[in-house]
Amino acid sequence: MSNSLISYLILIAMSSPIAINILLPALPNIAKQLDVDISLIQLSYSLYLCALAFGQLLVGGIVNHLGYRKTMMLGLMSFTLGSAIGGGVGNLEGLLIGRIMQGLGGAIAMSLARALLVDGAGKEKASQKMGYIIMAIAISQSIAPLIGGFINNALGWQIIFVVSILQGGILMLLTLKFVPRQNQQKHRPSLKENLALYRELLKDSNFRTYAIANTLVAICFYVFVSSSPYITDGYEGGIHAYGYWFISISIAFMVGGYLSTLMNKHLTLDKTIAIGNAISLVGALLLLVTQLLLESSYTALFLPMCLVTFGRGISQPSNQTAAIASITSQSSMAAGLMGFLQLLSGAIFAQCIPLIVNSTPKLVFFLMLSCMSLAVWVHLRHWSKCNSAN
């Protein structure tokens, strides 16, 4: 697989993380300009997440009908048109419709970036390259709010969508260059057949194990992100300190993603996953201990969480590669189903977290440790069974 193709897949994978996060700093300003409640503007974020989750679930069936190239073009057209509607209409309805279209298109782009990587490079080599995609996503999530805040202050919130329009247009041109045409399939699976394919994926012990482990580790992140604004309310340094400390999590994730590319050159996927999970488990344990025993501070909260995300950066590329490669003939459906499970689980837990924080804040850290412990157990149990069978 050429470096230019890898670069293309990285740009594809970055499009959705940038689009979802670049608008966040402008949400209060949008609510004021449109004269609507902030809870309605918040729908622009939650509806994007929902579209992202269900879009990834549907992408495998679309690929079975259209092939990789046409599906990618369809996704990028939805992403670009949604960006134009979201920024161009200038009202709440247009914003929400545009964000849903962006999310659906972004789901296709993210899923196919992973599937094309595995199909093009093979299971073992793809695991070495997947770390670069994970790092690119982490960078996107870090810089997007900064870019969005600058554009909002200088030019207004609607101009923020121009970034996504330019992304979509450039990526469509690159797709025509890098994604080959495919012969039209003689048999196009029906909805019932697609559902049967998803059932087959869920029945496969390899896919189920890696997807569940990946989801449980991701839940730890969603729980932290959802709870930390409430937990840090009143901490010394205020919201600005929170923003700076949050960047440390992305840096830890990027470093872990980079190390995973080096480790997978010498270790099996399962060994890399086990190392990453162990580091995250230690981080979750330290996070619980610091919150129970030490004085509340950004340092006591974020440093252990950096260890959790550092381990996740190591384990996630291998988890995703192993899950997608477990069903070689349905890699796009595997990628879509895995993304759906992760996003939907994260959304459910994130919605419940404010209730937990208001009643028993420390329970958040027990929940994170429990999810991480379960992820370690699920993977090690499967790995042990595979070794015994061999």
Same fold, 7-178 and 191-390: yes
DSSP string computed for 234-285: T-TTHHHHHHHHHHHHHHHHHHHHHHHHHHTTTS-HHHHHHHHHHHHHHHHH
Structural tokens at position 288: 């619980």
May I ask the CATH architecture of the domain 7-178? Up-down Bundle (1.20)
Per-residue pLDDT band for 173 (boundaries 50, 70, 90) equals: very high
Domain ranges within the chain, ordered by starting residue: 7-178, 191-390
Structural tokens at position 53: 């989750």
- Contact partners, residue 165, CB within 8 Å, separation at least 6: 80, 83, 84, 87
Cβ neighbourhood burial of 112 (10 Å; 0-12, 13-18, 19+): buried
Q: Does residue 371 register a pLDDT over 80?
A: yes
Q: What is the mean pLDDT of residues 96-110?
A: 91
Q: Does residue 220 register a pLDDT over 70?
A: yes
- pLDDT cut 90: percent of the chain above it: 28
**Predicted local confidence at residue 21, as pLDDT:** 79
Per-residue pLDDT band for 128 (boundaries 50, 70, 90) equals: low
Residues belonging to the chain: 390
Considering only residues 116 and 312, tell me which one the structure prediction assigns the higher pLDDT.
Answer: 312
Instruction: Say which DSSP state 90 is in.
Output: -
**139 touches 254 (CB < 8 A):** yes
- How many CB atoms are closer than 10 A to CB 169? 13
- Contact partners, residue 125, CB within 8 Å, separation at least 6: 1
Cβ neighbourhood burial of 183 (10 Å; 0-12, 13-18, 19+): exposed
| CATH fold label, 191-390 | Growth Hormone; Chain: A; (1.20.1250)
**297 touches 236 (CB < 8 A):** yes
Q: Does residue 118 register a pLDDT over 80?
A: no
pLDDT digits 0-9 by tens, 42-71: 678 778 888 888 887 777 778 877 888 899
From the list 296, 126, 317, the residue with the least C-alpha distance to 218 is 317
Is the whole-model pTM more than 0.75?
no
CA dihedral 274→54→222→132, nearest 10 degrees, is 50
**Predicted local confidence at residue 249, as pLDDT:** 84
H or E stretch covering 161: helix 160-178
Q: What is the mean pLDDT of residues 344-364?
A: 76
**Predicted local confidence at residue 191, as pLDDT:** 60
**Predicted local confidence at residue 287, as pLDDT:** 95
* The one-letter amino acid at 218: A
